[in-house]
Structure 1
Amino acid sequence: MSGYSVMWMILFKVLLAATIVLVISSGVMSQRHPPFCHETCNEFGDCAARCKVIGYGGGKCIGTWCCCSYDVQQLS
């Protein structure tokens, strides 16, 4: 094999490995949505109800922030 053939084979394997890692990591990341903390708990009396109104599964006050999540168990 010539030097160019070996170089192209190595480059191909590196690009293939990078593509596989990228596809797998994007699939794993899309399965979990991080909590979305956007308003203070002082603004709303019931953080969980506020989060449900705007389309999340629930919410919880974490510190002074009202954090909403699709997966309520994430906030535990």
Structure 2
Amino acid sequence: MSAYSQIWIVLFKVLLLATIVVVISSGVGSQHVPPNCHGTCGQFPDCDAHCKVIGYVGGKCSGTLCCCS
């Protein structure tokens, strides 16, 4: 085989691998759970602590709503 053929085969394999990685990564990323807003920031002044107590990673006030994620 010529050197150019070997280079094209290597480039094809790299491109194929990169495509597979991107497809798998986008599938994993799409499973992200959207934030869940439980009430107003007036009801939960420490929004982060409230969200952690009920099992979320954390929370923050988004506008006037306390949203957990």
TM-score normalized with structure 1 length: 0.53
Distance between the aligned counterparts of 2:36 and 2:4, measured in 1? 50
Runs of 4+ with >2 A deviation: 33-37
Q: Percent identity?
A: 63
Return 5+ residue gaps in structure 2 as ranges.
50-59
1:62 corresponds to which residue? 48
Return 5+ residue gaps in structure 1 as ranges.
47-60, 69-74
Following superposition, the deviation at residue 33 of structure 1 comes to 2.6
Which AA in structure 2 matches 1:11? L
Provide Cα deviations, 1:32-64, integer angstroms capped at 9, x if missing partner.
135378xx713xx37xxxxxxxxxxxxxx2166
Following superposition, the deviation at residue 15 of structure 1 comes to 0.2
1:22 corresponds to which residue? 22
Following superposition, the deviation at residue 10 of structure 1 comes to 0.3
Aligned-residue RMSD, C-alpha: 2.6
